[in-house]
Amino acid sequence: MRRVHYSGKYPRKFEEKYKEHNPEKYKETIEHVIAKGSTPAGMHISICVNEILDVLEIKPGERGLDCTLGYGGHTEKMLEKLCGEGHLVSLDVDTEESAKTLKRLRDKGYGENIFNVMNINFADLDKAANEYGKFDFVLADLGVSSMQIDNPERGFSYKIDGPLDLRLDRTKGVTAAERIMDMDADEIAGMLVENADEPYADEIAMAIVKARRIKPIITTTDLRRIIEDALKFLPKDEYKDAAKKSCQRSFQALRIDINHEYEVLYTLLEKLPDVMNEGGRVAILTFHSGEDRQVKKSFKAYKKSGDYLEIAEDAIRPSAKERNDNPRSKCAKLRWAKK
Task: Give the Cβ contact number of residue 4 at 10 Å.
Answer: 12
The pLDDT of residue 30:
42
The domain tally of the chain equals 3
Task: Give the Cβ contact number of residue 123 at 10 Å.
Answer: 20
The pLDDT of residue 95:
83
The Cα–Cα gap between 276 and 27 comes to: 38
Domain edge (last residue) among 239, 258, 277 = 258
DSSP 8-class letter at 202: H
The Cα–Cα gap between 94 and 68 comes to: 10
The pLDDT of residue 5:
55
The order of strands in the sheet holding 87-91 is: 115-118, 87-91, 63-66, 135-141, 276-286, 333-338, 310-311
Residues 7 and 83 occupy one common structural domain? no
Residues 266 and 141 occupy one common structural domain? yes
DSSP 8-class letter at 227: H
The pLDDT of residue 17:
43
Residues 188 and 101 occupy one common structural domain? no
Task: Give the Cβ contact number of residue 215 at 10 Å.
Answer: 8
The pLDDT of residue 302:
97
Residues 240 and 267 occupy one common structural domain? no
The alpha helices in the chain, defined as continuous H runs, are 27-35, 49-56, 73-82, 95-107, 125-132, 146-150, 176-180, 185-196, 201-214, 220-230, 236-258, 261-275, 289-305, 320-325
The Cα–Cα gap between 76 and 104 comes to: 10
Residues 269 and 130 occupy one common structural domain? yes
Nearest 10 degrees: Cα torsion 131, 133, 135, 138:
10
The pLDDT of residue 23:
53
The pLDDT of residue 20:
43
The pLDDT of residue 338:
97
The pLDDT of residue 70:
84
> Mean pLDDT for each 10-residue chunk of the chain (339 residues)?
52 45 49 47 73 96 94 93 96 86 93 95 95 97 70 77 88 91 96 94 97 95 97 95 95 92 95 97 93 95 97 93 83 95
Residues 129 and 277 occupy one common structural domain? yes
| Strands 115-118 vs 135-141: parallel, antiparallel or unpaired | unpaired
Domain edge (last residue) among 205, 236, 258 = 258
Domain edge (last residue) among 230, 258, 286 = 258
Question: Model-level pTM?
Answer: 0.79
Does any domain span residue 151? no
- 48, 284 Cβ separation under 8 angstroms: no
The pLDDT of residue 12:
52
What confidence tens digit (pLDDT) does each residue in 40-77 have? 444 557 889 999 999 999 999 999 999 999 888 999 99
Does any domain span residue 152? no
The pLDDT of residue 3:
54
DSSP 8-class letter at 74: H
The whole domain housing 207 covers 169-258
Q: Residue 140: in which H helix or E strand, if any?
A: strand 135-141
Residues 227 and 298 occupy one common structural domain? no
* CATH code for position 327: 3.40.50.150
Beta-carbon contacts of residue 236 (< 8 Å; ≥ 6 apart): none
Question: What's the distance, CA 112 to chain centroid?
Answer: 25
* CATH code for position 178: 1.10.150
Triad 161, 163, 167: Cα angle to 5°: 120
The pLDDT of residue 10:
52
SS3 89: strand
Residues 252 and 272 occupy one common structural domain? no
